Amino acid sequence: MSSCSTCASKSGCSKDIKCDFIKPKYGRIRHVVGVISGKGGVGKSSVTGILAVQLRKLGYRVGVLDGDMTGPSIPRFFGINEERTGYAPTDVKDVFKFIPVETSLGIKTISMNFMIEEEEPLLWRGPVLGNALTQLFQDTDWGNLDYLLIDMPPGTGDIALTIMQQFPVDYLVVVSTPQDMVSMIVKKVVNMAEKLEVPIKGVVQNMSYIRCGSCGEKMNVFSRNTAESQAEKMGLPLLAELPIDPDFASYLEEGMAERYAATNKDYDILMEAFRNDENEIAKRVAEAKKKSIPFLDS
Ligand SMILES: Nc1ncnc2c1ncn2[C@@H]1O[C@H](COP(=O)(O)OP(=O)(O)OP(=O)(O)O)[C@@H](O)[C@H]1O
Ligand SMILES: [Mg+2]
C-alpha cells in the first residue's frame, strides 16, 4: 500500500495511521488487487477475467471494477455488455448507490460501459476519469467481497496513479507478453509501484506459448528465454504462463469467455498461484509491522 512518505499531505498531517485510503460506502471488501501492464493489448482484461473466475473456483466472493474506462473489455469477457447498472436508494435522501451486474458465476462487476452506449466516446480528461472511477469504487453496493480485482489502464498514467495512491490496494498483478518482458516495457510500472510502495505479487506471462494441435506439446513462439528467467530479470515471481489460444479469442467474441476460463485446464495454474494468497498477504502485513491502517471492513 502507499504510505505517508509518498502522500501529498504528509507535511501537514499528524495522523497515527498510514494513510486515508478511500473506502467503499456500501460494502465490505477484504482484499483489493490491481491488474496492470506496461502497455496495452497484452491481455490485461482477459487475465483479470480469468483470475476472477479462478478465485471464484477457490470459493471466494469476487468483484471486478473495470478501471480501463474507455473500452468494454470486461463486460465483453463476461458476456454482459448489453446489461445496464441498476441504482438503489440509500439512507440519505436523493443519494443513490450502484448495483453491480452479476455474471453467470456470481462475480459482481461494475463498469462505465454499463452506463453509456458502447460506441459513445468518453471525452473526459484524466482527473475526471479518476473521479468517476473513485465514485464507481465507493458508491457501488459490493456486499461482502473477499477479492475486488481492478482492471487498470495500461502504463503509468493518471488513473494508475490514482489507484495506487488512493485505493487500498493489497498488491498488483503484472500482465505481460514475452516480447514485453524482454524489452522491459514492464519495468516502468514496476518502478512506479516501488516508488509508491505498492507490493507486486508477481507477473502473469500471457501469450507465452502455443499448444501443438496434434501432440499437445507447448511451443515458445516469441523468445527462447524462459518466462522464469525473464521474470527473474525484472525481480518478480512468475505466477503463471498462459497460452496463445485462438479458441479463447473466439469464446471472447461470443461472450462465452467466463465459462471457457472456468473449464479450460490451462488456466488452473492461476488458481494454484493464488491458493495460498491470503496467508501471503497476512505474512506481508505482519512483516511490514503496520501500526494501524483503516481496514475496509472496520
Ligand atoms: N491468451 C490469449 N490467446 C488469444 N488471444 C488473446 C489472449 N489474450 C488476449 N487475447 C486477445 O488479445 C486482445 C487483447 O486482449 P485484452 O483486451 O485482454 O488486452 P488488454 O491488455 O486489456 O488491452 P487494452 O490495453 O486495450 O485494455 C483481445 O482481442 C483478446 O481476444
Ligand atoms: Mg483491457
Give the Å distance between the CA of 158 and the centre of ligand 1: 22
Query: What SS3 string covers the chain?
Result: CCCHHHCCCHHHCCCCCCCCCCCCCCEEEEEEEEEEECCCCCCHHHHHHHHHHHHHHCCCCEEEEECCCCCCHHHHHCCCCCCCCEEEECCCCCCEEEECEECCCCCEEECHHHCCCCCCCCCCCHHHHHHHHHHHHHHECCEEEEEEEEECCCCCCHHHHHHHHHCCCCEEEEEECHHHHHCCCCHHHHHHHHHCCCCEEEEEEEEEEEECCCCCCEEECCCCCCHHHHHHHHCCCEEEEEECCHHHHHHHHCCCHHHHHHHCHHHHHHHHHHCCHHHHHHHHHHHCCCCCCCCCCC
- Predicted confidence at residue 167, as pLDDT, reads 94
Mean per-residue pLDDT, 72-87? 91
Question: Could you tell me the sign of the dihedral formed by the alpha carbons of 83, 264, 176, 251, in that order?
Answer: negative
Tell me whether strands 171-176 and 27-37 are parallel, antiparallel or unpaired: parallel
Query: What SS3 string covers 276-289?
Result: CHHHHHHHHHHHCC
Grid cell digits, residue 212:
501443438
pLDDT value at 292 more than 50: no
Question: For residue range 21-72, what is the model confidence (pLDDT) as tens digits?
Answer: 898 999 999 999 999 999 888 999 999 999 999 999 999 999 999 998 777 8
Ligand 1 atom with least separation from CA of 73? 17
Give the Å distance between the CA of 45 and the centre of ligand 1: 7
Ligand 1 atom with least separation from CA of 47? 18
- Predicted confidence at residue 130, as pLDDT, reads 82
Question: pTM of the predicted model, to two decimals?
Answer: 0.89
pLDDT value at 268 more than 90: yes
Q: CATH assignment of 20-277?
A: 3.40.50.300
Q: How confident is the model at residue 99 (pLDDT cuts 50, 70, 90)?
A: very high
Q: Are the C-beta atoms of residues 19 and 1 closer than 8 Å to each other?
A: yes
Task: Using alpha carbons, select from 52, 5, 51 the residue that is nearest to residue 206.
Answer: 51
Is residue 42 marked as binding? yes
pLDDT value at 1 more than 50: no
Q: Are the C-beta atoms of residues 239 and 270 closer than 8 Å to each other?
A: yes
Query: Could you state, in order of their start, the residue ranges of all structural domains in the chain?
Result: 20-277
Is residue 43 marked as binding? yes
Best residue among 46, 53, 81, 207 to mutate for probing ligand 1's pocket (most ligand atoms within 8 Å of CB) is 46
- Predicted confidence at residue 186, as pLDDT, reads 86
Q: How confident is the model at residue 5 (pLDDT cuts 50, 70, 90)?
A: low
